[in-house]
Amino acid sequence: MSGGVESVGSKAGPGAGSAASVDPGDTLQNPLYGADAEPMTGSSFKVLGIALTVAMGGFLVGFDATVISGAVPFIREYFSLGSAVGSLKLGWAVSSLGWGAMAGNLAAGLLSNRFGRRAVLLMTAILFLASSLAAALTTSFTLFIVARILGGLGVGAAILTAPIYIAEIAPARSRGGLVSLSQLMIVIGISVSFFSNYFLLSFGADSWRWMLGVQCVPAALYFLLLYLVPESPRWLMNKGRSADARTVLDAVHGRSTAQFEFDRIQASLAAQSRHIGLRDLLSGRLRRVMMFGFGIAFFQQATGINAIFYYLPTIFAQAGGGLSTSFAQSVLVGLVNVGMTFVAIWLIDRLGRRPLLCFGVAGMALSLLAISWAFHAAKGLPGGGGAIGYERIVLVAIIMYVASFAISLGPVMWVLLSEIFPNEERAAAISVVGFWNSLVSASVTLLFPAAVAAWGPDGTFLAYGLLAAAGLVFLTALAPETRGKTLEELERTLTPPLQGGAQ
């Protein structure tokens, strides 16, 4: 029965626990906290510092994924990838990171359950470091691919493990904002890679080596900074290392809150630790949250975000704009992505997850339909309709689309995934759903050129728009509101033990 679990923490709430440890001298307002915001205390600074450090993994994910866009023209020449066979090789060179990421997604759950969240993050830092140096220094195409796959392993593991870690160390009232830091770092990484590529262009024929190689600096810094970060207390307790967990909780939250957190985690871990298999995830009490996870992960990618990011210049050119302006337009889109992610972080613990999702996905659907309409209207016009401004409509609609994504599915999907699964199954469940998310992303980006050739850009964006409308229905019906609740409260309400099941 779950009687023991029920009795812990539901009335007192995390705010009550932390109020006891507030340092009266400290009055700085915490921008990450919601409507019931409290002044920042020493312990909130500690949690913020830890979350920011861990979220640097997101920066490396974003940087590594998009840095290749600047290297493409150079590696095409250097590795002689120009012929028809070569263009397939080029596709392989670009997508190898994505295939590595899928393996990294799967490994993340297994390894972070076995060796700890922090150990996996340290491993990703080494992968990013090795990958960037190997890709920058190699003269062999095969080694280049191997290097990118290694980076992909890091991407796949870090994109899942960083939010898990942050959710496990954050207090409930600021968890949404803190977990979103990981997404913020991803979008900052994307933008910085655009800027960095532009800057390094002037290095001539070898500039691609610099573009890929500079990543070794933040990767090495990430590795060093991770030494300052403790292991996740929830993972430690899951492994029966209660004394270590207590030390971490004391150091991070202060004594009184630490006791509160400790009791709550202990209660939720009352059920025996066991091996988690795919069958456990897809049947029984987890089935509903898993199905929701698969659904939101599908809609995050099937509505075209990475098709837009990876093919932006091509899309603008199709709309009748000049290719020469495509760089400035990409930078603009990148900045909007960063700016709106800040807005999402500010709102997610104030308004909640559901309003952001519903409002943002509605915006995505409308913008995608507007892009489709502009392409359709421009069909057959001289210069693709550029002269009468259709490319401007496409640009504005794409900016609206990215802004809507950045305030909803971008960060909120990762926040919800870090919240809806029970402590014991969290890492395994996120691994599987993350793998599915990467698979949909890789398929969409692989099929985008074929879709444009078959249906035209208007038909392709219409399809994404209809998928976004379907996503809106799905999310409105099924997305849970997790704002302000502890992970243990969520576990009790979203995945209650089956009748006659766990003690």
When asked if residue 191 is in the footprint of ligand BGC (CB under 6 A), the reply is: no
Region from 179-187, 242-250, 314-322, 459-467 binding ligand BGC, contact rule CB under 6 A: 179-187
Counting Cα atoms < 13 Å in the Cβ hemisphere of 104 gives 30
3 state DSSP class of 39: strand
Name which of 106 and 186 has its Cβ closer to ligand BGC: 186
In the complex, the smallest distance separating the C-beta of residue 487 from ligand BGC, rounded to whole angstroms, is 21
Q: Distance between CA atoms of 92 and 161, rounded to whole angstroms?
A: 26
Selected from 213, 233, 360, 410, the binder of ligand BGC by CB under 6 A is: 410
Sign of CA dihedral 207, 210, 212, 214: negative
DSSP-H helix ranges across 170-286:
175-200, 207-213, 216-226, 233-238, 242-253, 255-268, 278-282
When asked if residue 160 is in the footprint of ligand BGC (CB under 6 A), the reply is: no
Name which of 22 and 192 has its Cβ closer to ligand BGC: 192
Structural contact between residues 161 and 153, judged by C-beta atoms closer than 8 angstroms: no
In the complex, the smallest distance separating the C-beta of residue 300 from ligand BGC, rounded to whole angstroms, is 6
3 state DSSP class of 25: coil
Phi, psi of 280 (to 5 degrees): -60, -35
3 state DSSP class of 30: coil
Region from 200-208, 299-307, 363-371, 482-490 binding ligand BGC, contact rule CB under 6 A: 299-307
Q: Please tell me what DSSP assigns to residue 239.
A: T
In the complex, the smallest distance separating the C-beta of residue 395 from ligand BGC, rounded to whole angstroms, is 18
Q: Distance between CA atoms of 157 and 491, rounded to whole angstroms?
A: 24
Q: How many CB atoms lie within 10 A of CB 174?
A: 26
When asked if residue 68 is in the footprint of ligand BGC (CB under 6 A), the reply is: no
Selected from 112, 131, 174, 183, the binder of ligand BGC by CB under 6 A is: 183
Binders of ligand BGC among 314-353, rule CB under 6 A? 337
Name which of 132 and 441 has its Cβ closer to ligand BGC: 441
When asked if residue 197 is in the footprint of ligand BGC (CB under 6 A), the reply is: no
CA 473 to chain centre: 23
Residue type, 349: D
In the complex, the smallest distance separating the C-beta of residue 305 from ligand BGC, rounded to whole angstroms, is 5
When asked if residue 441 is in the footprint of ligand BGC (CB under 6 A), the reply is: yes
When asked if residue 174 is in the footprint of ligand BGC (CB under 6 A), the reply is: no
Name which of 190 and 397 has its Cβ closer to ligand BGC: 190
Contacts to ligand BGC by CB under 6 A: 183, 186-187, 300, 305-306, 309, 337, 410, 441
